[in-house]
Structure 1
Amino acid sequence: MIHVTKSFLPDIKEYISLLEQIWANGQLTNDGPLVLELEKKIAEYLEVENFLFVSNGTIALQLVIKALELQGDVVTTPFSYCATTTALIWENCNPVFADISLNSLTCEVQDIQKVISSQTSGILTTHVYGNCGNLLEQEELAKEYGIPLIYDGAHAFGVKYKGKSIFNYGTISTCSFHATKIFHTIEGGAVITNNNELCEKVRGIRSFGHKADDYFAAGINGKNSEFHAAMGLINLTYFPQIRDHRKGASELYDSILSPQVGRIQWNPDNIRNFSYFPIILPSEEKLLQVIAELNEAEIYPRRYFYPALNELPYLTYQACPIAEDISKRILCLPLSAEISAENIKKITEIINSLL
């Protein structure tokens, strides 16, 4: 079977060598030496000021929303994983959806301007598949309204925008290190910001809102363990190799897929990480036909993202026609650090035969 992704696993002996260090020092969590080493190494690798390792990408969003004290309306995207919206709901904010660009599938300034108001307390958008819109324009808009700009960068590890890490833009960013991501720590996530004061606030509420025995905030347990950090430290050394393989696989897909298969427009100012390979089919009917034929061959792509978040059954509907249309026609094809050229050709032949 060929699934939409396959988690990268290093040589088990490398992992065991770090487990032995954990057994030797006896510290399993609470900012252990491997967690601190991982935070330092990733901050250096990404060339960012502050990097906090947390439990997962959803907790990362909730920590940020809480630290920024967002209330009421928050402009956000209808085209993302459900965690982007549910993090807002869990923190008692009201998601206000700005439709997406037909090319980049991200929220651009002109989309945000249609729904932003004096009641808006923040902006939370997603770097979709690691792609982004005009970040400098978005920063200017947030500055004009005097509100924070949050980027959900769950897919964006290793992406650069205009020569800098994409995490250097906006007020604060989050990332996911779930096992399915291009860089993973089994479970995990991150909060990244160049604002030192904001970083320390997040650091505090990540650990129940206390320092030593002094409680100063209503915090939560957003920490991560030495075992997850160990996987991250090893996988970080393999990241260039993983990205290069996925780049080659993506280029092969591109070279042999039918021109009738739509693609998203990647921002030319980005250095990509090739975390996903999305295609856009002519109709939902054709998408369902492609899925059925691939499944028959034991190939399992994913409708990612579907449905559009503004159509979630527990929300009051807000029209976003572009996101609704794209979500019905977009499909992520299998992509991993191990996918073979033979399997890519097999997948592509099936898709091309149906168009």
Structure 2
Amino acid sequence: MNSRDPTRLSQLRAEPVADQNIYVTRPHLPPLEELLPYLQSIWERRILTNAGPFHQELEQRLCEYLGVEHISLFNNGTIALITALQALHIEGEVITTPYSFVATSNALLWNGMTPVFADIDPVTMNIDPAAIEAAITERTSAIMPVHCYGNVCDVDAIEAIAQKHKLKVIYDAAHAFGVRDERGSILNYGDVSVLSFHATKVFNTFEGGAIVSHTPEMKLLIDNLKNFGFLSETSVVEAGINGKMSEINAAIGLLQLKHLAPALEERRAVARYYNERLPQIGGISVTAGNLSPAANHSYYPILVEDDFKLSRDALYEHLKTCKIFSRRYFYPLISDLKKFVDIPSSTPENLPQAHEIARKVLCLPIYPGLGEQGAQRVVEAIASASST
């Protein structure tokens, strides 16, 4: 195969990966020497947390980069999800997707809420608005969709349903850093959006997260909740939590922003490589989100169809023998996990599309530094499985 197209592959950093393990992702790290001045400043100021200078600067820079008005930094995305639900005073039932990382629904349990699972659209893999409408009861208080793999939910349909039934909307946007549509940042939809800055994400602060809100009043409430509920030095008005981001994590975030553009371009280059070659392998379907010009390429999911020579799980194991470690995101479904399987909405009959996608999906390695040689190894390993 031709692997020398400069218009498509020049951004792939070739690395000596022929005998190395290739994992589904690898954290992007800036040059270590560039971090040292930030650490020097922290040591000199001795401000380690509690919304220090780097914390405040990162909030400002992220608002500018993402095109949002208010952002509150957190120590991780799960605590951000838990706090977002608390800030909106949600209770009762919350309609959400079974096709996500377990933190989405764990946040509901932490707040004493009941997840109600609705099926997904098989093309976008996001929650299906028609299934949301069908799941609404008198106990429904909110909808918590996920922009899965960074694919934008049907935000207009969800907003119409929310307005019709007077429901809150909390977007789990853990995969969707920097994603925009024709109206701007998708983080501006819903009542709040929640981000993850975990090490595996497109933008990372080692560990971290954030809530995007739309009014100064909501930002203030969120900031109070993540600081134990303190309103002032002598007044605690909410049962808050310690969700603050440290100065070191904020400093890493500031440095990561400086290197984000080339890192994203390397992801795009890997995706283009896959997009051109994988459709040539019979029984492998490239999902629609991988082809979208708006994608941030946080993941690269494929579907292993029934006419492929191996089952999805057999291909998963075959890739391991090639030192390629893919992931079955998202399998099993949240609704099949022990804490959720007995919820009435968890039945397979209620979630046929989610079960079908979870049976076929496989996320391939994609990250800055994978390199042309690494991307080629992945494609050739899948091709070899199709001919065994």
Q: Name the TM-score class by shorter chain.
A: over 0.9
Offset at 1:193?
Answer: 1.4
| Separation of aligned partners in 1, 2:290 and 2:369 | 26
Deviation per CA, 1:172-230: give whole Å up to 9, x if none: 00000000111000000000011332222111111000022211111110101000001
Contact 2:141-2:168 at 8 Å conserved across structures: yes
Out of 350, 358, 375, the residue aligned to residue 344 of structure 1 is: 375
Deviates more, 1:302-311 or 1:256-265: 256-265
Q: 1:228 aligns with which of 249, 254, 257?
A: 249
Aligned to 1:112: 132
Where 1:200 maps in the other structure, the secondary structure is helix
* Residue in structure 2 matched with residue 281 of structure 1 by the alignment: 304
Q: Paired residue for 2:223?
A: 203
Unaligned runs of 5+ in 1: none
TM superposition score normalised by structure 2: 0.89
2:325 partner letter: Y
1:330 aligns to what?
361
- The residue that corresponds to 2:49 in the other structure is 29
Instruction: Kindly name which structure, 1 or 2, has the bigger radius of gyration based on alpha carbons.
Output: 2
* TM-score where L is the length of structure 1: 0.97
Q: Which residue of structure 2 lines up, in the alignment, with residue 179 of structure 1?
A: 199
Q: Is 120-129 or 253-262 further displaced after alignment?
A: 253-262
| Aligned-partner Cα distance in 2 for 1:266–1:117 | 32
Secondary structure of 2:252's counterpart equals helix
Q: Is the Cα–Cα contact under 8 Å of residues 162 and 269 in structure 1 kept in the other structure?
A: no
Provide the C-alpha distance between the structure 2 equivalents of 1:96 and 1:268, rounded to a whole number of angstroms: 31
- Aligned pairs, how many? 355
For 2:215, the aligned partner's letter is N
The two structures, once aligned, show a CA RMSD in angstroms of 1.6
Shift in Å, 1:133:
2.6
- Asked whether 1:321 is paired with 2:341, we answer no
3-state SS of 1:262 partner: strand
- Corresponding letter in the other structure for 2:255: I
Aligned to 2:324: 299
Instruction: Look up the equivalent residue of 1:282 and give its one-letter code.
Output: E
**Mapped partners of 2:140, 2:286: distance in 1:** 33
Question: Partners in 2 of 1:268 and 1:278 — Cα distance?
Answer: 11
Gaps of 5+ in 2: 1-20
How far does residue 267 in structure 1 lie from its aligned partner after superposition?
Answer: 9.5
**Stretches (4+) displaced over 4 A:** 267-270
Q: Shift in Å at residue 349 of structure 1? A: 1.2
What CA distance in whole angstroms lies between the structure 1 residues aligned with 2:382 and 2:160?
Answer: 42
Partner Cα separation in structure 2 for residue 83 and residue 321 of structure 1: 22
Matched with 1:253 is 274
For 2:372 and 2:290, locate their aligned partners in 1 and report how far apart those are by CA, in whole Å.
26
Query: What is the rounded CA distance, in whole Å, between the counterparts of 2:29 and 2:363 in structure 1?
Result: 22
Residue deviations 1:160-180, cap 9 Å, x none? 022411101111000000001
Query: 1:270, CA displacement in angstroms?
Result: 6.7
Identical counterparts, % of pairs: 36
Q: Which residue of 2 aligns with 1:271?
A: 294
Q: Contact 2:145/2:153 (CA < 8 Å) preserved in 1?
A: no
Preserved contact between residue 122 and residue 353 of structure 2 (Cα < 8 Å): yes
How far 1:263 sits from its partner (Å)?
A: 2.6
- Which stretch of the first structure deviates more once superposed, 80-89 or 282-291? 282-291
